[in-house]
Amino acid sequence: MPTEVRPASPDQARLLRELLDAGLLISSGVPGVYGHGEAFERVREGLDELLSREARERGAIKLRFPPVLPRHQLESTGYLGNFPHLAGSIFSFEGTEAQAAEQAERAASHEDWSEFQSQTEVTLMPAACYPVYPAIAARGRLAPGGVFVDAGGSWVFRHEPSLDPARRQIFHQHELVRIGEPAAVLEWRAEWAQRGLELLRSFGLDAHLDTANDPFFGRRGRMLAANQRAADLKLELLVPIAGPEPTACASFNHHLEHFGQTFGIELADGTTAHTACLGFGHERIVLALLRTHGLDPEAWPAALRSRLWDRLA
């Protein structure tokens, strides 16, 4: 059964057309999967550097991971229970020469060749902070004060085909992760929520902060979403891009001891660490900038250009 493609509002459809016409985005033919033209990518890279610099100046260590996740790790996080509709698994051919020939023949005529594919040990990355937790756990007990990690702008995949240019199937999520004592983690999240808000406003964006919930799956998911909201576990920075609703350009998640327990992350005193993460959506922020200041970054205000554009000049 083919997945339903979410339609776009007239405003979203117009923005997508303008972005493609200007060469900022490059169509792949699949909704929500785009290449980036030079100008789009230059702003995105400027943003990536700026976010990493902000984190480094506040003590973050830099870790980088590939855009695939060991399947075993995904299975441990509970993601498949909460978001079975968003996960992307990687399959590969396993079979005989005759089956390979059959597969190639069917593929050449665009018929179903899935029966020759078996699941591999990796999946696409669903959230860029996931590989951070087992990596930190493997280092042994944390030093007092815990750790702050900049996981960078990594590709993540969410299977939600849409014609809204701000809702992509594959995009860069810049994750900052704090792991430590409960009070320190909570304080970090509050501090970065404010810093994130000020940062987006300093770009001239009409940003505001709100509590939110994840798009949990099914009936049980509606309960999870209500609990998440009631406990203030998720905050979002919302910016208008293309109507009708403002778009979440960053989200702040407080996981309490979920990942600490799952991956066995211990504090200096041997108790379980708390974690929080902050994910900036690179492409959504670039879209918000293009929508707010115009599709030609050369014509943006000089102060903004000097932060996100002129570094390559």
Residue 235 interacting with Zn ion (CB under 5 A): no
Taking the least distance from each CB to Zn ion, the nearer of 127 and 242 is 127
What is the smallest separation between the CB atom of 253 and Zn ion, expressed in angstroms?
6
Task: Compute CA distances 286 → 42, 49, 188, 190, 199, whole Å.
Answer: 10, 14, 25, 24, 13
d(CA 113, CA 291): 41
What is the smallest separation between the CB atom of 46 and Zn ion, expressed in angstroms?
23
- Taking CB under 5 A as the binding criterion, the range among 110-118, 126-134, 161-169, 220-228 that sits at the site for Zn ion is 126-134
Taking the least distance from each CB to Zn ion, the nearer of 40 and 263 is 263
What is the smallest separation between the CB atom of 272 and Zn ion, expressed in angstroms?
18
Residue 74 interacting with Zn ion (CB under 5 A): no
Query: Under rule CB under 5 A, which residues in 249-288 are in contact with Zn ion?
Result: 277
What is the smallest separation between the CB atom of 250 and Zn ion, expressed in angstroms?
11
Residue 176 interacting with Zn ion (CB under 5 A): no
Total chain residues near Zn ion (CB under 5 A): 3
Q: What strand order describes the sheet that includes 247-256?
A: 61-62, 147-157, 170-180, 274-281, 247-256, 234-239, 208-211
CB neighbour list of residue 135: distance below 8 Å, 6 or more residues apart:
63, 65
Among positions 19, 39, 51, 129, the unique one binding Zn ion when judged by CB under 5 A: 129
**Contacting positions for Zn ion (CB under 5 A):** 127, 129, 277
